[in-house]
Amino acid sequence: MTGSQARPPLPPFTLATATEKVRLAEDGWNTRDAARVALAYTLDTKWRNRAEFAKNRDEAQGFLERKWKKEHEYRLIKELWAFGGNRIAVRYAYEWHDDSGNWFRSYGNENWEFEADGLMKRRFASINDMPIKESERKFFWPLGRRPDDHPGLSDLDL
């Protein structure tokens, strides 16, 4: 079961459309707007994020709301790793701090599967958090969308 509106680019993906899909996902997550981000997923989406599981869009939205209440100054970079048909694999890193001011860089990989309408049906994420000093941060753009001229993960040797 999918949502009511298509989310281009649509599968099957090419290098160009997979790259665009990854950037659109990054842009969405950098808004930290859980309701808006959740619209990219099917109503019956299935997620594994670390040890948390979501069985539908509402649970995914709830997860995102909790996430962004905890992860302050969240800035994310995603990079295409592989693609084929209706699937995309990405690697990513994001920086954030907790309520005590402790900074982290979280590294992860995601496997995505899409319906024909471009909504994400399945998302499986594996993530590790690395404590960093504030002076070790690399993501400094204003909150929101990463500027086009900001280095990506490979450029930052991450």
Tens of pLDDT, residue by residue over 59-70, are: 999 999 999 999
Tens of pLDDT, residue by residue over 69-110, are: 999 999 999 999 999 999 999 999 999 999 999 999 999 999
Q: What's domain 15-136's architecture?
A: Roll (3.10)
Question: Given this model, what pLDDT does residue 4 score?
Answer: 61
pTM of the model: 0.95
Tens of pLDDT, residue by residue over 27-51, are: 999 999 999 999 999 999 999 999 9
Measured in degrees and rounded to the nearest 5, phi and psi for residue 37 equal -60, -40
Annotate the chain with DSSP letters as a single string: ---SS--SS-SSP-HHHHHHHHHHHHHHHHHT-HHHHHTTEEEEEEEEETTEEE-SHHHHHHHHHHHHHHSEEEEEEEEEEEEETTEEEEEEEEEEE-TT--EEEEEEEEEEEE-TTS-EEEEEEEEEEEEE-GGG----SPSSSPPTTS--TTTTT-
In the structure encoding, which two tokens stand for residue 60, read together?
């995914």
- Listed by start position, the domains of the chain span 15-136
Buried b (16+ CB within 10 A) or exposed e, 34-72: beebbebbbeebbbebeeeebebbebbbebbbebbeebe
Residue 54 identity: A
